[in-house]
Structure 1
């Protein structure tokens, strides 16, 4: 199936289809120079399938992991594009997870003030969330996504078949973002996590449809799009405090959501889903350390931060909380009401 993200001149299609990676020409003009960017853990089979369909492509690999979302790697990729004499008429195709999409997208947004960018996400996390919306960025030290831009892709190709090469931990990590989406906008999506068998294609499709509608209503996070940050305020702080590689992004978002689920019955439902997904428990944390990262988060104001609260599945409340109120939540802990 295909959806369209309606953003005027920045509109683009999202293709969700098994086997879509084998016919990228349906949505990508491959008759030009194309830089295919992937981390070194993306299986060669996916990269080669894409490269073989391009008339003039070259592949750029970088070390997998959040640590590559840095100025050094950003600069290295830009230099390689220049060495290949890429022009404004050429394009970048990102193949990989959220790190690849964020980094490649920011490179595309910056090179010659912006060239075409296509995203082929190969993880559940990137398929259900980060591949759509145009938020591209790198980290600065331990501060996540603090340097970046809004740069919409020209198309997104989501092929559930590529998920077969993922570990179960990576699959479950990505499913957290889908669960998040259901908790704030789609109760049916939450119900899908309680079925005997998880229907990945349906979960991906429903998640992306919610993300698409939110981005259409608020492309640059002036209002509604803030709801997609549910779980991220404290989740990002945990991710930063533990060195970005101890826990996966979705695992940290799962931890962060617990602090802002306001109904005991719903929190019990969510915790059962967490057990099913084999997610880690919230570690012992330093409140002062987490508050340090929260205060420096790009979503924070001078003395407060906008958080998302959920009292029932499919609904949300946006509320500005002072840092003292956030501290109180951390003091109370994630498992208390």
Structure 2
């Protein structure tokens, strides 16, 4: 049984996010309506070995010519160097505007392949086949594509919506526990933004999803996609409400940037989870939300095996973290924009022209 969530609004062509089990083997039939010419599967070396043959076989059975291009696994592939290499492969393959790029992998592959598709011949179609929980609930939906630079994460990119997203729950069974927990952070984030009831379920029966229960994962992915699709359909290019999806990310991206995006040090979802805890504690400290809510967020995040305190990630300079936050893509006019909360399920955006409260908070949290 599959569930289809439609994503779309007034500014872009609607597309379906299909959530279910066994979708990798049905991919050919589902992708065929969009494949007027050839497809090029972009994956990372690890995922290509595990899931590439099944996807390629499914496409070929449906009469779709295809080949696989792989990039090194890891955040380092979201770079100018790998983007240039991938663009050269698209050119060497002679793709035209009728052809389709298929991103098979996690958020790194989806971001890189999506940006390449956005740039190639000023934009060709691409399809997302996310193989991590984080990608299924977050990065594959909404059309954000980007690479990183030494100055920050996701600072060079484009909005380029996919034509289709296939979220196969079965592929999540191949994930290492850390990657599953990393994706669970984004699931928790969706409840924290605007659905307290969903967060309550995630903290109780739904918690089984964090350890791989397929039924809980299916429900978690569907609800997360519903939340994100509703927000994206209303605000494609983050002119307003879509910024709420960055809850935990301003703190989290700053931490990742200071660590040099080293996944061995901290996975992206771990940084987001920590960032959500920081956002709630900062909100409580500013008198914006009940400290009881901040404590509950910390407890649920910790129960999922995710970090809640800055000292768990490493040693940081408060000034350096603040500098990273000021350079975040949501920043305006030299100020810092944070996604904060009035409580669980009640996130909002606030801009700080005076960074002193943030700096004091970072020091209170253990940054030097």
Name the structure 1 match of 2:328: 297
TM superposition outliers: structure 1 runs of 4+ over 3 Å: none
Offset of 1:142 from its aligned partner?
4.4
Deviations 1:99-121 (A, max 9, x none): 01000000000001000100000
Offset of 1:34 from its aligned partner?
0.8
Deviations 1:164-222 (A, max 9, x none): 10011110101101101100111122112222433111111111100000000100000
- TM-score (norm. length: structure 1): 0.95
Q: Does 1:84 align with 2:93?
A: yes
Q: Does 1:50 align with 2:55?
A: yes
* Alignment coverage as a number of residue pairs: 335
- Please identify which structure carries the higher helix content: 2
Matches within 5 A, 1:13-162: 13-29=16-32, 30=35, 32-42=37-47, 44-54=49-59, 55-162=64-171
C-alpha RMSD of matched pairs (Å):
1.6
Does the residue aligned with 1:64 lie in a helix, a strand or coil?
coil
Task: Indicate conservation of the 8 Å contact 1:132/1:156, yes or no.
Answer: yes
| Counterpart-to-counterpart distance in 1, 2:345 and 2:203 | 15
Q: Does 1:313 align with 2:344?
A: yes
Shifted more, 119-128 versus 310-319: the winner is 310-319
Shifted more, 306-315 versus 127-136: the winner is 306-315
Distance 1:104 1:204, change over 3 A: same
| Counterpart-to-counterpart distance in 2, 1:111 and 1:243 | 29
| Counterpart-to-counterpart distance in 2, 1:10 and 1:109 | 15
Q: 2:358 aligns with which of 313, 318, 326?
A: 326
| Counterpart-to-counterpart distance in 2, 1:7 and 1:274 | 33
Offset of 1:303 from its aligned partner?
2.4
Task: Indicate conservation of the 8 Å contact 1:38/1:100, yes or no.
Answer: yes
Q: 2:218 aligns with which of 198, 201, 206?
A: 201
Q: Does 1:268 align with 2:283?
A: no
Offset of 1:26 from its aligned partner?
4.0
Task: Indicate conservation of the 8 Å contact 1:231/1:260, yes or no.
Answer: yes
Deviations 1:218-264 (A, max 9, x none): 00000000101111111100000011112111111111122221332
Task: Indicate conservation of the 8 Å contact 1:142/1:243, yes or no.
Answer: no
Name the structure 1 match of 2:250: 233
| Counterpart-to-counterpart distance in 2, 1:141 and 1:58 | 32
- TM-score (norm. length: structure 2): 0.87
Distance 1:167 1:43, change over 3 A: farther
Distance 1:303 1:295, change over 3 A: same
Name the structure 1 match of 2:310: 282
| Counterpart-to-counterpart distance in 2, 1:251 and 1:117 | 28
Matches within 5 A, 1:240-251: 240-245=257-262, 246-251=265-270
